[in-house]
Structure 1
Amino acid sequence: MDFLDLLEPDMSRKILMCLDDISDIVRASAVSRCWQHLVIENGLSKQLCLRSFPPLSRVASIVEVNDSEANGHIEVACSSSRDSKSVLRDHKVYAYFAHAATSFLMRSCILEALIASSTDNEPEETINNTLEPRDVVARRALYWSSKGQFKPDVPETLIYRLVSNLCVVTEINIRPFQAFFQPGSPIYSAKAVRFRFGHLNRVMNPRSDLIGESHWGSGNDTFVWTYTSPEFPMAQENYLQKFILPEPVLCVGGILQIELLGRVQRQETDALFYICVSHVKVIGRPLSPSFDIEILEPSGEFLLKCNYQAKTTCNQLIMLENEPRTILPTYLERRVVELRQIVNMLRGNVVQGEYYAWGEEEDESDEDFVA
């Protein structure tokens, strides 16, 4: 006997919603036609997704994109009504989304550095240096430095673009910079950090993804922030510190802001407070090319695009690693700075404040390239 037949529909829904794994909901829908009807008609897979990833509540409609290699066209099916086909489509898409958000490979998610709220010396101390995991490259210390401040409570922000418009982020790693070349080797960490996720504000800046860094501004008008994390204390120690989010966060729009709150280290030469960061790393699951979005301004809602055939498998990732890679502009900028420094060193014009580690082997980081 099917026990659901003995219960009211509301009670059956409450029982199934006690499941916290979307795969269990999918299995439940395969028990019988009655259970399948209950799961699909009540949108239980969508409800579980919304419970795990609240930003999905801003989905205006769903678009299924099917790549057809045979005839070279893209077939699109939209879901915005509540007919039986759209209800079934929603069930499939949200079930697949939950699977992707929990099973796609974890990886580093930063594509490029966009803008820092301030920089002490350009281009030697640019935010692009934080993408390099090594402290020293070409015998030169790599780090970002803020401008000096008399007050220790002045914050700073670093903004990055992620590799996908949809990423499930679990943790952010930050390494404060230790100035080995200064007396006492001070560490210029922040007191605390906080993270925001969001997307470009197309209403205020319709071409903001095409203009240069000097036009980004402070980020108040350029970006729309949809998630803010709690504050995390930062240790004044020289290691890659891991800040694990309370729960996996769905970043809709692919923009991350790191807020560095408070200063702890004063520079001896000018008695000003600085914040310096050596390396930033974001760990999560990019959901592209299986999923993508299109922001609908000014409402902030978005289209959720799903492509089942674009699912990235382990074999596909290995194939991507073997394909020719394109050098990112940020990597070229760093190489120019390194070569300029080598020329200055050969001429005997060593810039004050540089730290040299002779004999260090140079290995190019994979983060300097994209497939």
Structure 2
Amino acid sequence: MEGGRWDILQWLGPDASIRVFNYLDNPADLARAGAVSKSWRKFVISNQFGKRLCMTLCPEISNFTYIQLWKTLSLQYASPSTSMDWQILETAHITYTYFACCFLSCDSDKGCVMTCIGASSTDRSPMEMIQNTLQPTDIVHWIPSYWSSAGQADPNVQESLIYRLESDLYLVNEIRIQPFKAFFQDGHPIYSAKHVRFRMGHSKFNLSELSLLSGKEKSQLTRDDNYVWTYISPEYCMAQESNLQAFKLPRPILCIGGVLKIELLGRVQKQELDGLYYICVSYVQVIGCPLSPLLDVASSTDSTVLEFYPHF
């Protein structure tokens, strides 16, 4: 009983109540439940229903080491006897509930603004650089625009393209890739890959200092040991066609750290001139949306922190 009213949570008991609350699939419902009374709020927070909901919506949040709330709302509710454990739970509840709201309201059908980090190889630089893949056309100022790998005698040698997304917390719905059709070669060959796979995560170095890196340092940017990958997609078959091919992910994926790696697996087209296999891409597009600017991520080699900057 609270305030002279009968409490259904006490009548059901904790186990049955938890099962009932686990059916709540909207953060607004959790917020309403937590506003019923002090005991209901304590029940919602102590059982971490906000985190449970987020884990269902977005399993990638399990990669966060801890949460940092930069303006501590918990002090508004805390009494002098409030334990640190309760403040941690309350901070997590506030952050995860807001995160779930952003996730569900995100318009994941927009094109992402990207910058290039590097390619595993380039045949002729600067004519065939990765930067050309940001142009939605394969001809710019009457000049062919595309990225080309170095030639390989072995068709199984893979290549990779690495990009930085416009936000360090970006919800990715699908990735589109257009293989390049060499209209200036006999037969107009299309230099596609056999398969494609995607990795998302964060860098171990400061991407804001990318322009300050030396040429030798930039050549190391595509090495996997420079990144922490929090998501690896299934492999997708790529058609040997020069249209923009859409690879829809199994569900919206949270890219934690804003780094996308496209792995181009296997080669199908030899160049007649030298008898070597190449992969060429004219355009790459990421479809999704950034999460709220009030959410951010701080990454290092040993931790990944979800940061929340609420306005109150």
TM-score of the two chains, using structure 1 as the length reference: 0.73
More relative contact order, 1 or 2 (CA 8 Å, 6+ apart): 2
Residue in structure 1 matched with residue 46 of structure 2 by the alignment: 41
Residue in structure 1 matched with residue 111 of structure 2 by the alignment: 108
The number of residue pairs the alignment matches comes to 297
- Residues 175-226 of structure 1, C-alpha deviations (whole Å, 9 max, x = no match): 11111111111111111100001111249x9976741464231422322222
Picking from 133, 137, 160, the partner of 1:134 is 137
**CA distance change for structure 1 residues 222 and 86 in 2, over 3 Å: closer, same or farther?**
closer
CA–CA distance in structure 2, aligned partners of residues 234 and 57 of structure 1: 31
Residue in structure 1 matched with residue 229 of structure 2 by the alignment: 225
Matches within 5 A, 1:150-299: 150-202=153-205, 210-212=212-214, 214-216=216-218, 217=220, 218-287=222-291, 289-297=293-301, 299=302
Give the residue type in structure 2 aligned to 1:253.
G
- Residues 330-358 of structure 1, C-alpha deviations (whole Å, 9 max, x = no match): xxxxxxxxxxxxxxxxxxxxxxxxxxxxx
CA–CA distance in structure 1, aligned partners of residues 93 and 86 of structure 2: 11
Residue in structure 2 matched with residue 10 of structure 1 by the alignment: 15
Secondary structure of the 1:303 match is strand
Q: Is the 8 A contact 2:204 2:300 kept in 1?
A: no
Q: CA deviation at 1:32?
A: 4.8
CA–CA distance in structure 1, aligned partners of residues 15 and 216 of structure 2: 56
Give the residue type in structure 2 aligned to 1:246.
P
TM-score of the two chains, using structure 2 as the length reference: 0.86
Q: Is the 8 A contact 2:159 2:263 kept in 1?
A: yes
CA–CA distance in structure 2, aligned partners of residues 222 and 31 of structure 1: 48
CA–CA distance in structure 1, aligned partners of residues 27 and 150 of structure 2: 48
Secondary structure of the 1:115 match is strand
Q: CA deviation at 1:34?
A: 4.3
Residue in structure 2 matched with residue 57 of structure 1 by the alignment: 62
Runs of 4+ in structure 1 displaced over 6 angstroms? 75-78, 205-209
- Residues 236-293 of structure 1, C-alpha deviations (whole Å, 9 max, x = no match): 1111111111112111111110000011111121121111001001112212521111
How many percent of aligned residue pairs carry the same amino acid? Answer: 46
Give the residue type in structure 2 aligned to 1:96.
Y
RMSD: 2.7
**CA distance change for structure 1 residues 152 and 8 in 2, over 3 Å: closer, same or farther?**
same
Q: CA deviation at 1:54?
A: 2.8
Secondary structure of the 1:309 match is coil
Secondary structure of the 1:19 match is coil
Q: CA deviation at 1:18?
A: 2.6
Q: Is the 8 A contact 1:118 1:147 kept in 2?
A: yes
Q: CA deviation at 1:145?
A: 0.5
CA–CA distance in structure 1, aligned partners of residues 44 and 261 of structure 2: 38
Gaps of 5+ in 2: 1-5, 76-82
Q: Is the 8 A contact 1:200 1:208 kept in 2?
A: no
Q: Is the 8 A contact 1:130 1:280 kept in 2?
A: yes
- Residues 141-194 of structure 1, C-alpha deviations (whole Å, 9 max, x = no match): 110011111121111000001111111111111111111111111111111100
